[in-house]
């Protein structure tokens, strides 16, 4: 199907019922039998045709199906078996911004617990800034952006897309409320709302992994135990990195315990993400080429090297403040590349008909 095809259908106008009026009011179509009468009528397989037998041994029929489906797979898979996801560049960017919002809400809660309300207020602002672009990005990816409010038409716990849309809405609202409370100098309210936002953020940062796992795309579905944790780790890392840069930009001095703690958090989180990704990739076995080849492979390698370079800069002796900031920037970029890599891997995995068919047989 090409994008430049003529959208107008053969008859009528798109999305409108065709105009139809009978020549004789109330007339019936010749030979038509209502109530599905036509469906039960066949001139090919009548009473004198040996089309089927009437006495059936059902266990033999089910055994034949089992033989065909559990037996030797054929040499050739004539795909496509599944369709590739249609999501474009907006979605991984949304995952990343949502991750920044979630990670920042963790940092805000931790700052409050550790007794640093000024940094907590900054982290809450970062969380709001991370959540703000999410909705426009998500709307831009819709086929019918004008109908984005339909997402909030129902609450559907079994659909990660529905729960995610609600988490984003609630998180955006709580984030805005918390910042407003900060601006109105209501610290206790800000702290309470910020804490609630961290709870919602725990879901906002992780559901994206669930969203990808709950699909027929083999490389995502087989990573179901890891995708959520991987996305949480990168959310924490990118959120902490964004907060760290914001705090430094706000004049938090070097050696301040909050600045040190945020640095520790981002480093531990990115290390956890690298470790989880490595374990997952090993576990995927036959499917791992989807993560290693093509655009996905390039993105994964880039992400990994950015994360490793950031780690090296952070752990280097005699590091200047600038190298620390560069490390935070590398974590942010690495987290973004990881998100794009996962989407590219899914697209590649869905297009590999043989692998999809093989995974279905397992």
Residues 74-133 that bind other proteins (CB under 8 A): 74-83, 85-87, 102, 106-107, 109-111, 113-116
Site string for other proteins, 287-316 (x = CB under 8 A): ------------------------------
Radius of gyration of the chain (CA): 28
Positions in 17-56 near other proteins (CB under 8 A): 18, 32, 34-40, 42, 44-45, 50-54, 56
Report if residue 321 touches other proteins, rule: CB under 8 A: no
Q: Which is nearer to other proteins, 1 or 185 (CB)?
A: 1
CB of 230 to other proteins, least distance (A): 8
Q: Using CB under 8 A, which of the segments 10-18, 168-176, 178-186, 327-335 binds other proteins?
A: 10-18
Positions in 198-257 near other proteins (CB under 8 A): 198, 201-203, 205-207, 209-211, 213-217, 220-221, 224-229, 231-233, 235-236, 240, 257
Q: Which is nearer to other proteins, 91 or 303 (CB)?
A: 91
CB of 282 to other proteins, least distance (A): 17
Q: Which is nearer to other proteins, 283 or 305 (CB)?
A: 283
- Candidates 129, 132, 148, 301: give the one binding other proteins (CB under 8 A): 148
Q: Using CB under 8 A, which of the segments 60-68, 168-176, 245-253, 309-317 binds other proteins?
A: 60-68
CB of 23 to other proteins, least distance (A): 18
Token reading at 41: 């009528």
Report if residue 1 touches other proteins, rule: CB under 8 A: yes
Q: Which is nearer to other proteins, 27 or 86 (CB)?
A: 86
Three-state secondary structure readout of the chain: CCCCCCCCCCCCCCCCCCCCCCCCCCCCCCCCCCCCCCCCCCCCCCCCCCCCCCCCCHHHHHHHHHHHHHCCCCCCCCCCCCCCCCCCCHHHHHHHHHHHHHHHHHHHHHHHHCCCHHHHHHHHHHHHHHHCCHHHHHHHHCCCHHHHHHHHCCCCCCCHHHHHHHHHHHHHHHHHHHHHHHHCCCHHHHHHHHHHHHHHHHHHCCHHHHHHHCCCCHHHHCCHHHHHHHHHHHHHHHHHHHHHHHHHHCCCCCCCHHHHHHHHHHHHHHHHHHHHHHHHHHHHHHHCHHHHCHHHHHHHHHHHHHHHHHHHHHHCCCCCHHHHHHHHHHHHHHHHHHHHHHHHHHHHHHHCHHHHHHHHHC
CB of 184 to other proteins, least distance (A): 25
| Number of chain positions touching other proteins (CB under 8 A) | 133
Site string for other proteins, 164-203 (x = CB under 8 A): xx--------------------------------x--xxx
d(CA 38, CA 32): 7
Q: Exposed, middle or buried by CB within 10 Å (0-12, 13-18, 19+), for 44?
A: exposed
Q: Which is nearer to other proteins, 180 or 281 (CB)?
A: 281
- Candidates 90, 132, 133, 141: give the one binding other proteins (CB under 8 A): 141
Report if residue 58 touches other proteins, rule: CB under 8 A: yes
Positions in 325-354 near other proteins (CB under 8 A): 346, 350, 353
């Amino acid at each position: 199907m090409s994008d430049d095809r003529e959208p107008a259908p053969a008859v009528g106008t798109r999305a409108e019922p065709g105009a139809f009026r009978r020549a004789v009011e109330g007339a019936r179509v010749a030979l038509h039998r209502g109530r599905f009468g036509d469906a039960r009528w066949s001139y090919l397989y009548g009473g004198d045709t040996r089309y089927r037998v009437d006495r059936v041994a059902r266990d033999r029929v089910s055994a034949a199906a089992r033989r065909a489906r559990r037996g030797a797979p054929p040499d050739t898979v004539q795909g496509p078996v599944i369709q590739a996801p249609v999501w474009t560049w907006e979605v991984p960017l949304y995952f990343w911004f949502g991750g920044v919002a979630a990670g920042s809400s963790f940092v805000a809660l931790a700052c409050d617990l550790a007794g640093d309300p000024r940094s907590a207020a900054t982290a809450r602002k970062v969380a709001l800034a991370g959540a703000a672009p999410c909705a426009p990005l998500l709307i831009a990816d819709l086929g019918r952006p004008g109908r984005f409010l339909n997402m909030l038409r129902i609450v559907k716990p079994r659909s990660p897309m529905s729960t995610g849309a609600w988490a984003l809405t609630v998180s955006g609202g709580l984030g805005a409320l918390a910042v407003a409370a900060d601006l109105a100098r209501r610290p206790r309210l800000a702290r309470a709302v910020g804490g609630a936002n961290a709870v919602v953020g725990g879901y906002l940062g992780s559901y994206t992994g669930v969203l990808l796992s709950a699909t027929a795309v083999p490389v995502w579905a087989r990573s179901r135990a890891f995708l959520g944790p991987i996305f949480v780790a990168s959310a924490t890392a990118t959120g902490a990195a964004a907060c760290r840069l914001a705090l430094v930009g706000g004049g938090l001095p070097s050696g301040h315990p909050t600045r040190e703690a945020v640095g520790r958090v981002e480093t531990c989180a990115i290390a956890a993400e690298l470790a989880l990704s490595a374990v997952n990739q090993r576990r995927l076995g036959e499917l791992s080429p989807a993560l290693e080849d093509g655009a996905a492979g390039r993105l994964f390698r880039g992400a990994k090297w950015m994360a490793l370079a950031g780690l090296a800069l952070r752990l280097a002796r005699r590091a200047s403040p600038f190298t620390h900031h560069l490390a935070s920037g590398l974590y942010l970029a690495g987290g973004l590349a990881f998100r794009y890599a996962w989407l590219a891997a899914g697209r590649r995995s869905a297009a590999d008909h043989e692998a999809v068919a093989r995974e279905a047989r397992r």
